Amino acid sequence: MFKKSKFFFLIFFLLLAYLPAQAEIVKPKYIREASAENATEPIGVELSPDGTKVFFARFAAGQNLYQYTLDTPFNISTLDASSEVILDLSAGSDDLGDGKLEGLTFNGDGTKVYAIDFQGRMNVHSLVTPYDFSNFTQDADDEKTWTTYLSPNDGAIRPHDMRFNSDGSKMFLFEANADASAAVVEYHLATPYVPGSATTTQSFNVSSEINTVIQDIDFDDDGTRMYVVTSSGSNANHRLVVYKLSTGFDVTTATHAGTMANFFSADETQGGTPAGIHFAKDGMKLYQADYENNKIHEYDLICPYGIVICELDETNVQTDTASQIEFAKDVIKHNTSTIFRRFDWLRRNENNLRSYSNNINLNLSQIFGSLPEEIEKPLTDAIYSKVNTLVQKNKRENKKWSLWSHGDLTIGERNSKSLKPREITTSGLTLGMDRKLNNDKFFGLALRYGNEDIDILRSSNKFETEALSLNFYGQIKLNEKINLNSLIGTSILEIDKLNSGTNTGSRNGKQIFSAISLEASDGFTNLNIMPTAKIDFGITELSKYNQFNTSNDIVAVHDLLTFETGNLISGFKFDNLKNISNGKRSINGSLEYVHDFTSDINYEFKNSGDSYQSKLYNSNSIHNFKSNIGFERILDNGFTFGLNYENFQSFEKNTLNQDTLYLKLSHVRDKYTRVALDYEPLQDQNLEFSYTYVINGLDVLINSNYDFSSVVSDYGLNIEVSNTF
């Protein structure tokens, strides 16, 4: 008896140990539905990339394609029945006879629409306006019957729909019959999106996972996941089967990832016949045609293309990682740009910032020359002695600090062939102070807070980032013609990823960076043109972090990432400085070539339950051009106001473009002013800045604060007047 108990206990224990390892399949969440209006028996469904239009194929007699407008993009319940546009396939010279339609699809830019019937005949129309049936022309017949053409299984194909890969070099049909021949057939097209140019084919048998008729297939955006819909008879036969492809859009590399046994269980309608599926552009919504009930169902997904499994595809991971690397590079770029603009200001104001500003030259002979020598000489000696004493005192007391601030705003966009486009908005505030040592050296420090929003276009994902940087900088005059400028800085980084407004992962980071430049102290021509050369280099470490879906389940794990970045910059500056009333005016700018010598960066991630994958990020903006134009107003009272516009543009078309606006304020402090800057990152990220000016013994205090931790910006300003007796 005891032995039997031990045996059953062992079995129970093993079951407990086994069950948690079996992850529950990921199901779509039913949202809403819409009637297919006149498109009875919808056999396919498509949406325009912007979600403003929906398209159906009709299985019933009539051979029509239907187009409707969605009043709210991607919201199927806002289908406007009055917006109906019909494309009658039987009206042209190249009609499909009496064959019933099985599906439709578009080419990559929506200028062609394709329809196929159950007899394997295909019809193609060119659209004057993309994704609009209002105006069209019919393409010539390809004269192919796709039930037999290039079939790997002796003409057994009964196509229910068709798909193209992302560049139109491949077309996919399938053998829909519920037998051992059920397969997805891959055609290679010699001319993109031209079915008649098909030359070779291969297939992937799905009969082991399919027990009924294949109704539709679809892929994720990079072709690494394939979705097969089957339906016939009872709800138990309504399946959505998911395959993983190790090579995108290559069906021979497919492996079964899992099956959703009852497709309709997601919306609890327990009825109908799934006859077509379509994913929204970002993969976060699924649309399903219900042939039996004449409806279109809309589902939300908890992660991109998240049915059965929830994992990140390579394109998403590359885009996310690239966004984080680019943010780290932007932090360095904004800090170095701000500090080197400060060097320009120091050069323009060199004469006003000497350790002693009063060089007094007296020609007393013009005044006392008519006096007798025995009177003139003792008198002039006494005056020279007094003046010299005052000058020396001034040398000791008038070593001035300069206070300055920069505000910056950057908007731009990054794009590449392999990554999703990103829209970038950056804002920052820099506070600094510096002083001159002797006549040929400056040193200072600056604190910059910046935040950057990165929107991944055509998706619901974005990054919200923050960076706090401390810079130490200095300038040395090597000789009368050349200045050496340098800085070293460090930053702490915070990166939050959001999906539809929900935080799905946070990552911290730190970096150290430096920059050095050589520039002429004096220029040429009236524009004061000065050649420049600069190099910057940085090391960034981003922490390991978990990425979640909107249901707080771990989707992927990103490993610790350390990388190096750098730029070589050469060009010239110009600076037209003129004396005007109550100060000076400067019109200045620069033209520079920027060579990004950042090496390829290796990073590692793994989907939940998998092993780590090593990937490579290639910098896509090696050759760049930076231009700048601005002005400054320098007042005699020590204040400077300035505005600069900067454009950063990649030589590679549509790769990188950023526009930045800098607003600057500077003040030379005298002995009657005091400035204090306090920042406590561990105490609610509170920043306080105070300025005190002494007027006839009265202390006039201006105090302000900013709370970085608050969702709603919290500013404060106080003015106090006091006296010490």
Taking only the tens place, the pLDDT of each residue in 612-631 is: 778 888 766 889 999 999 98
Per-residue pLDDT of 604-614, as tens digits, reads 888 766 777 78
Q: What is the pLDDT of residue 725?
A: 41
Q: What is the pLDDT of residue 20?
A: 39
Q: What string of H, E and C letters represents the secondary structure of 157-194?
A: CCCCCCEECCCCCEEEEEECCCCCCCEEEEEEECCCCC
Q: What is the pLDDT of residue 653?
A: 65
Mean predicted lDDT score pLDDT of the chain: 79
Which residue, 498, 500, 469, 473, is CA-closest to 484? Answer: 473
- In this predicted structure, the answer to whether residue 266 has a pLDDT above a threshold of 70 is no
Ramachandran angles phi, psi of 626, nearest 5°: -120, 130
Are the C-beta atoms of residues 401 and 433 closer than 8 Å to each other?
A: yes
Q: What is the pLDDT of residue 97?
A: 56
- In this predicted structure, the answer to whether residue 205 has a pLDDT above a threshold of 60 is yes
Q: What is the pLDDT of residue 216?
A: 87
Which residue, 711, 24, 603, 724, is CA-closest to 308? Answer: 24
DSSP secondary structure code for residue 618 in this structure:
P
Per-residue pLDDT of 536-571, as tens digits, reads 999 999 999 888 776 677 778 889 999 999 999 999
Q: What is the pLDDT of residue 625?
A: 92
- Quick one: average pLDDT of 162-167? 92
- Quick one: average pLDDT of 596-610? 84
Q: What is the pLDDT of residue 527?
A: 78
Q: What is the pLDDT of residue 140?
A: 77
Confidence tier at 699 by pLDDT (50, 70, 90):
low
The DSSP code sequence of 368-417 is: HTTS-HHHHHHHHHHHHHHHHHHHHHHHHH---EEEEEEEEEEEEEE--S
**Other CB atoms within 10 Å distance of the CB of residue 507:** 21
Q: What is the pLDDT of residue 447?
A: 93
Q: What is d(CA 114, CA 173) in angstroms, rounded to the nearest whole number?
A: 13
- In this predicted structure, the answer to whether residue 411 has a pLDDT above a threshold of 60 is yes
Q: Which residue has the tokens 């019957």?
A: 145
Extract the tokens encoding 235.
Answer: 């709800």
- Quick one: average pLDDT of 295-315? 81
pLDDT above 70 covers a percentage of the chain that reads: 72
Q: What is the pLDDT of residue 419?
A: 80
- Quick one: average pLDDT of 653-679? 68
Are the C-beta atoms of residues 711 and 693 closer than 8 Å to each other?
A: no
- In this predicted structure, the answer to whether residue 709 has a pLDDT above a threshold of 70 is no
Contacts of 617 (CB under 8 A, 6+ apart): 318, 321, 322, 325, 600, 601, 602, 603
Ramachandran angles phi, psi of 26, nearest 5°: -85, 125
Q: What is the pLDDT of residue 714?
A: 46
pLDDT above 90 covers a percentage of the chain that reads: 31
Rounded to the nearest 5 percent, the helix, strand and coil shares of the chain are 15, 50, 35
Extract the tokens encoding 436.
Answer: 């001159």
Per-residue pLDDT of 52-101, as tens digits, reads 999 988 876 667 889 999 999 999 999 998 999 998 887 665 556 556 78
Q: What is the pLDDT of residue 21?
A: 38
Per-residue pLDDT of 330-371, as tens digits, reads 999 999 999 998 888 887 776 555 433 333 444 545 445 556
- 690 vs 299, more confident: 299
